[in-house]
């Protein structure tokens, strides 16, 4: 049975700071393993190591170097000075870009341990051409010095200020012969805006102060409750094997799912589904690029009917089914799927305000009910 009491207890048990690669994340992972063992099964564990360089250091280096180039172009100290700086930037960029193409393989900088925990429930179909439904939630949490809205604002300021500023500077310093003072003033304004955005990005450090109830204990307990339901009722789908996957180090560059992907290379991607549960607060958002009113409309209509039957309030966004998440990474690998979260709750995540009173247990309960019926509908389609 899906249980509100179980959801509430597990949420309170595991909602504590658990930064990627720390003993706190390890403790949360071991608590989850013990809870799965209490169901009478032993989960699979995939240990791995990861570097914090890709997530925490690399972006700061790139944005800072890019600002320096903008400043050098503005200074206009001669062609040789500009050429040397551009050449050095290009060399640094190439040296950094090569390892960051596969960030899960980076083993320099601050290298930390983590692990994925997963359970696979086979289908009744003996076909070796596997069709799977994979339910994902990440274990770790993180806090940040700046509120997430200010962090988002810093990126939204940086990108247009850089493009507009660079265009204005080139036009003013290199194209027209006698520019009006207003052009210099505009160049300085956009240069300062970009500097402020760069400093905000550099200043925003990671900490272990967020309890991570919304992000992502809410998703973790939802996937665990679904696992409990299928184990306790001894249920298997007819045509799809079920995977319940709890990833580590998602908040440090989605390192867990990048390592887990190696486990599912033989899965039939075209006929499988990835379902990601990440950052579920008081409201419910349904995200998908594949099951929408315009794409796979029949399955979306069935989902909508189940939502209405359960009296669930939700909003649909035609977006990736994970925003810098496990779901987004797997979408880039060719998987189809959908996901759940709460965009309105983003104002609390990665902060001390991300605690259990921001999570709607009734909503998680209804979401579990929705998933049981939806998985049955998908399975009936074969």
Listing DSSP states for 102-118 in one string gives: SGGG--SSSEEEEEEEE
pLDDT the model gives residue 8 = 98
DSSP 287: E
Please list, in sequence order, all residues whose beta carbon lies within 8 angstroms of the beta carbon of residue 247, skipping any fewer than 6 positions away.
Answer: 116, 136, 137, 138, 139, 254, 256, 257, 260, 326
d(C-alpha 93, C-alpha 375), whole Å: 45
Residue 28: CB atoms within 10 A of its CB come to 25
pLDDT the model gives residue 318 = 66
- Domain ranges across the chain: 4-48+110-145+210-380, 57-102+147-203
Exposure of 42 in the CB half-sphere (CA atoms within 13 A): 2
| β strands within 3-153, DSSP E | 44-51, 111-121, 132-138, 143-144
Question: Which of the listed CATH numbers 1.10.10.10, 2.40.30.10, 3.40.640.10, 3.40.630.10 matches domain 4-48+110-145+210-380?
Answer: 3.40.630.10
pLDDT the model gives residue 147 = 87
Cβ contact 275:338 at 8 Å: yes
Q: In which residue ranges of the chain is pLDDT below 50?
A: 321-322
DSSP 37: H
Please list, in sequence order, all residues whose beta carbon lies within 8 angstroms of the beta carbon of residue 3, skipping any fewer than 6 positions away.
Answer: 225, 365
Backbone φ and ψ of 4, nearest 5°: -65, -40
d(C-alpha 175, C-alpha 311), whole Å: 62
Cβ contact 322:250 at 8 Å: no
* CA 138 vs CA 60, 296, 324, 347: distances in Å: 25, 28, 12, 19
pLDDT the model gives residue 341 = 92
* CA 245 vs CA 118, 172, 271: distances in Å: 4, 54, 19
d(C-alpha 309, C-alpha 369), whole Å: 11
| β strands within the chain, DSSP E | 44-51, 111-121, 132-138, 143-144, 206-207, 241-247, 273-277, 285-288, 315-317, 336-341
pLDDT the model gives residue 322 = 43
Query: What would the pLDDT profile of 254-279 be if each residue is shown by its tens digit?
Result: 999 999 999 999 899 989 999 999 99
Query: What would the pLDDT profile of 167-213 be if each residue is shown by its tens digit?
Result: 999 999 999 888 899 999 999 999 999 999 999 999 999 999 999 99
Cβ contact 158:194 at 8 Å: yes
Residue 32: CB atoms within 10 A of its CB come to 22
Cβ contact 303:374 at 8 Å: yes
């Amino acid at each position: 049975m899906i249980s509100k009491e179980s959801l509430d207890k597990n949420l309170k048990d595991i909602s504590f700071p658990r930064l990627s690669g720390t003993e706190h994340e390890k403790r949360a992972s071991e608590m989850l393993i013990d809870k799965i063992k209490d169901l009478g099964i032993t989960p699979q564990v995939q240990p791995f190591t990861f570097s914090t360089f890709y997530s925490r250091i690399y972006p700061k280096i790139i944005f800072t170097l890019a600002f320096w180039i903008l400043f050098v172009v503005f200074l206009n100290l001669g062609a040789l000075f500009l050429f040397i700086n551009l050449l050095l930037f290009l060399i640094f960029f190439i040296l950094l870009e090569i390892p960051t193409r596969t960030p899960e393989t980076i083993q320099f900088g601050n290298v930390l341990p983590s692990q994925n925990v997963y359970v696979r429930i086979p289908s009744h179909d003996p076909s070796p051409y596997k069709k799977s439904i994979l339910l994902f939630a990440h274990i770790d949490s993180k806090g940040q010095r700046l509120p997430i809205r200010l962090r988002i604002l810093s990126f939204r300021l940086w990108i247009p200020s850089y493009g507009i500023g660079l265009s204005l500077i080139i036009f003013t310093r290199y194209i027209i012969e006698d520019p009006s003072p207003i052009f210099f003033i505009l160049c300085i304004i956009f240069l300062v805006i970009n500097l402020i955005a760069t400093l905000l990005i550099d200043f925003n450090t990671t900490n272990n102060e967020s309890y991570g109830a919304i992000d992502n204990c809410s998703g973790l307990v939802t996937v665990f409750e679904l696992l409990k339901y299928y184990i306790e009722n001894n249920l298997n789908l007819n045509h799809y094997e079920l995977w319940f996957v709890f990833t580590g180090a998602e908040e440090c560059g989605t390192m867990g799912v990048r390592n887990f992907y190696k486990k599912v290379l033989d899965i039939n991607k075209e006929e499988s589904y990835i379902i990601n549960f990440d950052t579920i607060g008081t409201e419910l958002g349904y995200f998908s690029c594949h099951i929408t009113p315009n794409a796979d409309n029949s399955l979306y209509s069935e989902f909508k009917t189940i939502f209405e039957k359960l009296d669930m309030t939700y909003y649909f966004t035609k977006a990736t089914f994970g925003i810098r998440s496990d779901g987004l990474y797997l979408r880039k690998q060719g998987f189809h799927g959908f996901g759940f979260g709460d965009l309105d709750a983003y104002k609390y995540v990665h902060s001390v305000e991300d605690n259990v009173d921001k999570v709607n247990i009734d909503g998680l309960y209804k979401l579990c009910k929705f998933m049981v019926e939806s998985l049955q509908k998908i399975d009936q389609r074969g």
